[in-house]
Structure 1
Amino acid sequence: MKKYIILFLFCSIILSSCNDLFNIEPKDKLTTTTSFKTYDNFKTYNWGLYEIFNGDATDVWDKDKNSHLMVNNNSSNSNVWAYQNVTEATENSEWNFEYIRRVNTMIDNIDGSEMSETEKAHWRSVGLFFRSFRYFQLLSKYGGVPWIEHVLGENDTEVLYGPRATRDEVAANILRDLEEAEKNIKPAGDGNNTINQKVVQALISRFAIFEGTWRKYHGLNDAEKYLQVCADYSKKLMDAVPNVADNYELLFTSESLAGMPGVLLYFEYSDQAGLTHQGGRQAGSSGNIYEGTKELVNLYLCSDGKPIGNSEQYKGDATVYDEFRNRDYRLYYTIVPPFRVKVNGNNDTNWKRYQPGETVTFGASTYVLTEEDCQKFTENIDLLERISESGHKRLPSRAWNASTLNGSAPRFRPYSQGGGTPFTGRFGYWFWKYYNEADCLTKHAQNTTDMARFRIEETMLNYAEAMCELGKFDQEVANLTINKLRPRANVALMKVADINDSFDPNRDQTVPALLWEIRRERSVELLGENFAFDDLRRWKKGDYLKKELTGCWVKNADYNNTLEIKGYGTVEGSADKEGYVVFRQQPKGFLDHYYLYPIPIKELVLNPQLKQNPGYKETAD
């Protein structure tokens, strides 16, 4: 399998480094007239197209920081959508059709090859998958875009300088191409971890739930059509892949995802090939401050299957220990749980537990510790020892350089308690979903844990949502979807009959109770996998970005009065107060026209027929 990844990355580097590859025919290199003859020719070319699954680790979660559930707190107003800083830039890497040209180059050369009709149909299907994947990205961002099915020449001015195809046309063409690909691709693809029939079905499921709900909540036609397509293809895939991974953590911390139940396609990393990422290092370093928000933490159910507003297991959030107790295991795998131990400087790995009766100083506060204090300081250390099956996630947390050991969590950038800033943020909810201690400590910035690009859990959640939107969600559907996810998270199964308007008093009251629970499950299962922001866009819930985001509840004196507490305006005004920590400025709010991205002004100048998306500038003033 590694040879496939190595080959496709090699091709990616070659192809991406030469945008004019198909405009020039050097005598010492393969060209379109010589390289598209045999099955193996197409197979070799195809590896380069896999680069659309970006290999940078932060790309896996970077878009989620634009949602209300996750932030990068390097800046107090870094979310351009929430703070109304989106500009109609003259340059925009998102508006780019070079990749589509590369796919079309392959597709256009299939008929003239030496392959059999079956082989031709297979490679056309692979090409249609990749082209559809890219067009889905463009449709999501811009709505209607130019539709290009063949390689264009300089004389194809009607297309080069023509208007955009409508959203209806683009969406219909994507669905048409994916359905053709699903029928004609080799069911097993071209070996392990390659595009195959199941991966095509997974993309249909992903595309159709997006398009169906976009149309429903943005007032467009054919919403039910796409929702039904999602339900049909999702069910087909679920019948073929009925099982999920037994351990949620291992989906994000494993050196190899080969053979992992439910993983359909993944990005494979290798020391030998020099293909590495920094996912683990990012979690254990101070370079970025990726954190969850209070909104995210509130979404996780208690282990009895009830939300925090309706569960006897939840004892409030006056301390972070209470807040994290008896919760969905996915919370502990995603956000560093609270703990406190004794360390003699930040390089001391021989940590010790606090003992009852000790007098200790935390910031500006002094306490005589009780037995209850000492128990809560280490309860999550003991919990992770039990539930981190491979030991990839252990407390106390250790930084990427193998020496720094944190004495406590949460840790805050203004008062890091012992020096050093790894695992030290602004909200107290440090994101560590992809952190594998062994991989991080021994390999620093060269992590090799694999990363899934399609997994069956997403398809199950797509199916659950589509069936709910169609009015067909019942206990049987719950058992086929959400109730397959919860056992590995130590959460009681969903009982559809129990979910009514009073099930979660804290829900968005404009969302039906059952649909809210399905959206909740999606949010906690897929957090940090680049779905959260696009989910807000397709649900037309940009108003979630208007609310002031907060972190955990703190006693400011415990942090030497260095934090700002919600409601007190400044750090100085927050002295000796307690409440929810804040850092980010009050957002201005998501503008209605932000649901679509702006077309770069440079493109409008080059082609006046494109026309800007509503609400944005047509020219650079």
Structure 2
Amino acid sequence: MTRKHTLYICTLFLLLTACKREDFLDRFPQDAISEPTFFKNENDLKLYLNQFYDALPVQRGNSEANSDNFAQSSRDVFLAGEYVVPATDNNWNYAAWANIRNVNYFLQRYDRAQMDGTVKNYYVAEARFFRAMFYWDKVKRYGAVPWLSRDLTDTSSAILYGPRQPHKQVMDSVLADLNYAVANAAEGSNTQFRGRITKDVANALKARICLWEGTFRKYQAMGDETPYLRAAADAAEAVMNTGRYSIWKTGNPTKDYYNLFIQEELRGNPEAILARRYIKDISMHNLTRQISDIWPALTKDFVRSFLDKNGVPTALSPLYRGDETLDNELIDRDPRFTQIIATRGFVVTANPGGNNDVVSLPRIPGVVTGYAAAKNYSPDPAQWNANQSTLDLFIFRYAETLLIFAEAKAELGEGSQAVIDRTINEIRSRVNMAPMVIAALVRDPQSKFPGIPVLLDEIRRERRIELVGDGFRFDDLLRWKAGTLINNAETILGMKLTPALRAQYPANQVSNVIVDGNFYIRVYNNITSRTWNDKLYLYPLPTNELTLNPALLPQNPNW
């Protein structure tokens, strides 16, 4: 059996298994797909596309170990410079291309369905939405990749063994898919498509991808960035102008940010453009248990980035009390500080009768930096059972869309106070933090980005705080060409553990904790900093695939 035959059979098998939860196997032969009897009606299109929804990236508060925001006990191999070119890679092998092949399979056959043409196009828009998302993931990881516009058959060798297409060419095709999805998807107000890909969701993805691509082209000196930055701003504003979304708040600024991420039901939450719903005994997850087992550890570098409550950098703030203790650090800071970090009084376990387990000292050991990330952590013991958490998770959150609009407009030179009031200041209003006033901004002496306008610098800071843990930070470092931020020694340091504070812990809990000369916790005993290498802007292609298909050469730079 040839490799091409094997691929085709695998594709058919995936088609069979993808829809089994929707009773597909009750209506069609179980041993093969009968093409003449499939793709005949709307239900067939919907059931087929359901297979791709599990690939939508949920936002989890512990998703950024590969960045300068977190330092876990196990070093990230890639950022540590210890990653070697693999023989195989689950992100490149044939299974990894299955989703793209299966989308193309749909796009070549959907038109058989006998149904209203407008409704049919809703599902075509879904398919092209997913193809755009899948290809963007490939480009972020590998740069140039083959563009597959049809499914693989016995005569597909030109595609199967074809060369990689340039980054910009592939992303222009991604943008074409996004534009089609936005133009043809169901309206966000269409209740029949609630929970599916609508025009609002398509615009949210378009805004996310176009901001990434526009800034990547700009800071990686590729050129042609302006159309993407404009597309990002326009797509984000299209979501904003629907009037269907807003920043969720209940008037409790000391709890609302934290509480946003531990909700049983995000359907109807005005901040949820699209959320993954979890229901008892039907679909559940393990995130709360994961956090309770190994608390995500925020870095000193991240914690320094919090402004004071008036929006002033700590290096310039008369309110800043220093970092001798965590109790000092939180005083008069951005109110999200104590909703992101488990500080004194944070409820770890909500016990019956109100006898709660609360934080009295920073959680070491168990948190290698002392800064325990509390985002998505529920104190409800019912959420700790293995694989039984029913807390909903965001896929597209309105706050991210606002941040995209603010950044894209600033990159275009259009970052006015009106833009900031619609975006950054709306987000800050949740926690009653002082609004950003462009005319009053002063460059932070400890800025991570001294070479860019102060407004962009502060928008990037706001994004870092609001979206911490959601999985965006490494992508941000790539698109800003800011990998060298990994070199900062404080990206692998924790809080201060002075002799006075150490004495408050049982000796056996802190005896193995190493500190540097200034008493900051050292996470890794054998290094004092990491060293970024520019080859890390792309992953290497696996050697087996390069051997089988020399048209994929050359290997990515310096691998």
TM bucket by the smaller chain?
Answer: 0.7 to 0.9
The 2-side partners of 1:612 and 1:397 are apart by 54
The 1-side partners of 2:278 and 2:110 are apart by 31
Moved more, 188-197 or 449-458: 188-197
Query: Is 2:523 aligned against 1:583?
Result: yes
Is the 2:342–2:359 Cα contact (8 Å) retained in structure 1?
no
The 2-side partners of 1:26 and 1:39 are apart by 19
Q: Which residue of 2 aligns with 1:124?
A: 124
Q: Which residue of 1 aligns with 2:10?
A: none
Query: Is 2:285 aligned against 1:277?
Result: yes
Q: Which residue of 2 aligns with 1:411?
A: 363
Q: Which residue of 1 aligns with 2:478?
A: 537
Q: Which residue of 2 aligns with 1:353?
A: none
Structure 1 segments of 4+ aligned residues over 6 angstroms from their partners: none
What does 1:123-162 align with in structure 2 at a 5 Å threshold? 123-162=123-162
Q: Which residue of 1 aligns with 2:335?
A: 329
The 1-side partners of 2:382 and 2:552 are apart by 47
Is the 1:550–1:582 Cα contact (8 Å) retained in structure 2?
yes
What does 1:226-265 align with in structure 2 at a 5 Å threshold? 226-241=228-243, 243-246=246-249, 247-265=256-274
- Going from structure 1 to structure 2, the CA distance change for 1:223 and 1:254 (only over 3 Å counts) comes to same
1:253 is paired with a residue whose SS is coil
Moved more, 488-497 or 234-243: 234-243
Query: Is 2:195 aligned against 1:187?
Result: no
Moved more, 437-446 or 94-103: 437-446
Residue of structure 1 aligned with 2:81, choices 75, 84, 90: 84
Give 1:72 shift: 2.0
The 2-side partners of 1:121 and 1:474 are apart by 38
Give 1:33 shift: 3.1
Letter in 2 for 1:148: L
- Going from structure 1 to structure 2, the CA distance change for 1:475 and 1:12 (only over 3 Å counts) comes to farther
RMSD: 2.7
The 2-side partners of 1:563 and 1:516 are apart by 38
Give 1:43 shift: 1.1
Query: Is 2:277 aligned against 1:268?
Result: yes
2:380 is paired with a residue whose SS is helix
Q: Which residue of 2 aligns with 1:223?
A: 225
Is the 1:256–1:449 Cα contact (8 Å) retained in structure 2?
yes
Is the 1:49–1:130 Cα contact (8 Å) retained in structure 2?
yes
2:466 is paired with a residue whose SS is helix
Residue of structure 2 aligned with 1:604, choices 516, 541, 546: 546
1:226 is paired with a residue whose SS is helix
Give 1:496 shift: 0.5
The 2-side partners of 1:228 and 1:135 are apart by 21
1:244 is paired with a residue whose SS is coil
- Going from structure 1 to structure 2, the CA distance change for 1:475 and 1:30 (only over 3 Å counts) comes to same
Give 1:182 shift: 0.7
Is the 2:217–2:223 Cα contact (8 Å) retained in structure 1?
yes
Letter in 2 for 1:395: V
Letter in 2 for 1:329: P
1:454 is paired with a residue whose SS is strand
Q: Which residue of 2 aligns with 1:294?
A: 300
Moved more, 81-90 or 524-533: 81-90
Is the 1:545–1:589 Cα contact (8 Å) retained in structure 2?
yes
Identity %: 30
Give 1:218 shift: 0.5
The 1-side partners of 2:288 and 2:30 are apart by 44
1:447 is paired with a residue whose SS is coil
Is the 2:516–2:522 Cα contact (8 Å) retained in structure 1?
no
2:336 is paired with a residue whose SS is helix
Give 1:63 shift: 4.6
String of CA shifts for 1:455-504, please: whole Å, max 9, x gaps. 11111111111111111101011001100000112310000001133x55
Q: Which residue of 2 aligns with 1:567?
A: 516
Q: Which residue of 2 aligns with 1:64?
A: 64
Q: Which residue of 2 aligns with 1:352?
A: none
Letter in 2 for 1:170: V
Residue of structure 1 aligned with 2:50, choices 25, 47, 52: 47
Is the 1:81–1:589 Cα contact (8 Å) retained in structure 2?
no
- Going from structure 1 to structure 2, the CA distance change for 1:175 and 1:442 (only over 3 Å counts) comes to closer
Is the 2:350–2:381 Cα contact (8 Å) retained in structure 1?
no
The 2-side partners of 1:214 and 1:464 are apart by 17
1:453 is paired with a residue whose SS is strand
Is the 1:84–1:589 Cα contact (8 Å) retained in structure 2?
yes
Give 1:331 shift: 2.1
The 2-side partners of 1:151 and 1:441 are apart by 42
- Going from structure 1 to structure 2, the CA distance change for 1:115 and 1:407 (only over 3 Å counts) comes to closer
| Number of aligned residues | 518
Q: Which residue of 2 aligns with 1:94?
A: 91
The 2-side partners of 1:43 and 1:297 are apart by 45
String of CA shifts for 1:145-203, please: whole Å, max 9, x gaps. 11111112122111111101111211111111111111111113643221100000001
Give 1:142 shift: 1.1
Letter in 1 for 2:268: G
Q: Which residue of 2 aligns with 1:342?
A: none
String of CA shifts for 1:54-78, please: whole Å, max 9, x gaps. 57xxx835551111111222x2xx2
The 2-side partners of 1:179 and 1:442 are apart by 42
Q: Which runs of 5+ in 1 are unaligned?
A: 1-10, 340-380, 382-393, 414-423, 569-577
- Going from structure 1 to structure 2, the CA distance change for 1:301 and 1:27 (only over 3 Å counts) comes to closer
Q: Which residue of 1 aligns with 2:325?
A: 319
Q: Which residue of 2 aligns with 1:309?
A: 315
- Going from structure 1 to structure 2, the CA distance change for 1:166 and 1:441 (only over 3 Å counts) comes to closer
The 1-side partners of 2:19 and 2:198 are apart by 24
